[in-house]
Structure 1
Amino acid sequence: MSEQDYSQSEMEKALNSVQEIKVGDVVKGEVLAIDDNQLVVGVQGAGVEGVVPLKELTADRNAKIEDQAQVGDVIELVVLSSLGHDKENGNYLLSRRRLEARKVWSDIEAKFKAGETLSVKVTEVVKGGLVVDAGVRGFIPASMVDDHYVDDLKSYVGQTMEVKIIEIEPSENRLILSRRELVKAEKEAKKAEIFAKLLPGDVVEGKVARLTNFGAFIDLGGIDGLVHISEIAHEHVNKPSDVLKVGEEVKVKVLNVDADKDRISLSIKALQPGPWDKIAEVAPVGATIEGTVKRLTTFGAFVEVAPGVEGLVHISQISHQHIATPNEVLKEGEVVQVKVLSEDPENKRLSLSIKALTEKPGEEGKEEEATPSDYEMPETSNGFSLGEMIGDALKKDSDDSDK
């Protein structure tokens, strides 16, 4: 073989050894130069060069190309298109970003088939839902963000959340995700856990979730319990919103747990000092205090001397003069001065007198002393005698001359 024939043979072997590149091929390229915001790379095994623009290196629009690669680096790339037809000197458009996306789509498809979830980060709010970063762009429709309607989705931006894959189509860059079912499942698990350990009498902390006309719903960390309006405070509450605010942290006592009906009854007032706890300070025996007539009955008048504390002025203690009914002398809403005759905090009973503060006709300057028989009567469950409640045992005034 002549020298000329040998050289031609070696050249043919070299040319034949050059790898032919097709669109879609994955190749390795050595960075030869960084020029005009793009990489110039030599495709290994092909003897040709290609270019990688910054936008094909990363999806970060603010990135600098110098931070993406250095001369001499060897990076894996995918061929996007041919920029020339010369096999030896032709150029190709290459991409690292799309190769990485291809791998991400492959991983997501595998998770979809296995029924696994994805961890994604919310990047922005758009019309109809949330855009998320799952390695590729994903979308969560507004109706699938939570288990209830969310008016403002802005609070989710920046959050990382677990989602379920609903629909995937890599060729169209379509990835539809949902968080709703996972939220429901999580709440059901928390609910079961709470019902399993919560018992009547327990004291727990919660947050006011919602306010209604009949009470407040307290979030106990996965399930809501109800504080009825009558259990908010010892004093009368017109509206729960007068006392509580949504988002407020509160301590509550568990009154009842009904797992079958998903109901938990709570109380705030059960953890607060009752109005009768300090009655000895508010209305000590023998003291003269001011009160408001709240109710009139046939046997006397109930006078409120402190929020939630009412005492009875028996009909015999209203006036020195004989009266048939209390409304001959008093009216509801009237403010009166009363003297405390006796108190029984345990049974919530307070005996009061109006006439003890007035002079008896004919005995100016001499205050009539009330006797135990004026106010000591058998008690019922509400703190007053049966005779008081039905008017069958009205007492006579101690001075018959007043009749």
Structure 2
Amino acid sequence: MSEPAPDPRMQSLINRLRPGAVRRVKVTGFDGTDVLVQLVDVEGGATETGRIPRQEASMRRTEHPSELFEVGQEIDAEEIGRWREGRLHLSARACEIPALRSFLLGLERGQVVTGTVSAVHNFGVFVHVDGEPGGLCTGFIRVPDLTWGWISHPSEAVEAGRRITAEVIIAETRSGQVTLSLKALREDPLIRFADQVGRVLTGPIIKIVPFGVFVQLAPEVVGFLHLSELTDEPTGTPDQFVDEGELITVKVAEVDLRLHRVRLGAADGADRTR
């Protein structure tokens, strides 16, 4: 299966979210809602301090981390980096449930997993991944990772209770979640559509935005026609010239596989006004 070039921004995000080393630390106090700690496992007897930000203290909701930790208590925490002051920052929540951490560390980017859709929301889909610790729901699929096609709501792609097979994008110990993709297991439809550059096609307008319209060109292939290609009028909005659902004839100007987008132009001789 052909793959588009990796997005450097996505790769940078993945690198930042990869699990860090686990350190044994002792709670020394609190700074507001942050937990102050001292590393126990420093070689050579040196002393190094660190900080656990409030949002990294626990997956449980609490008013203050003192409800979870006592001064002098030793816990495991995952390194997440060093901030401007040079102090090590750590995540206790990444080590809070050992069985969950072990499960997530066993998943690798690109691995294929199976699971059952737990819930469908407008922002994405939750999935019970096979093998996850009981009582937890670890899988999540973002809307853009559901399908190559155009959907107005995730329920158009999946429904609760459905068994699915998906590819792992990243497993995050700090969030206790594995981000999945359904469309990664299917070939990008633009790969086969790339030879359509220069052709004139007709399709329905499926969405109108202030600066142009989206046109359905083929199954799971949508192109964008800018307002300047839609009309010669110097002012106005697309809905003054076309309606959603209306058939429009356009020319395929560009197919960008890396950004997964199709740029359209006005078809030669087409009427650019109503």
- Give me the TM-score of the superposition, normalised by structure 2: 0.49
TM-score (norm 1): 0.35
Based on CA coordinates, which of the two structures has the bigger radius of gyration?
Answer: 1
Query: RCO (CA 8 Å, sep 6+): is it higher in 1 or 2?
Result: 2
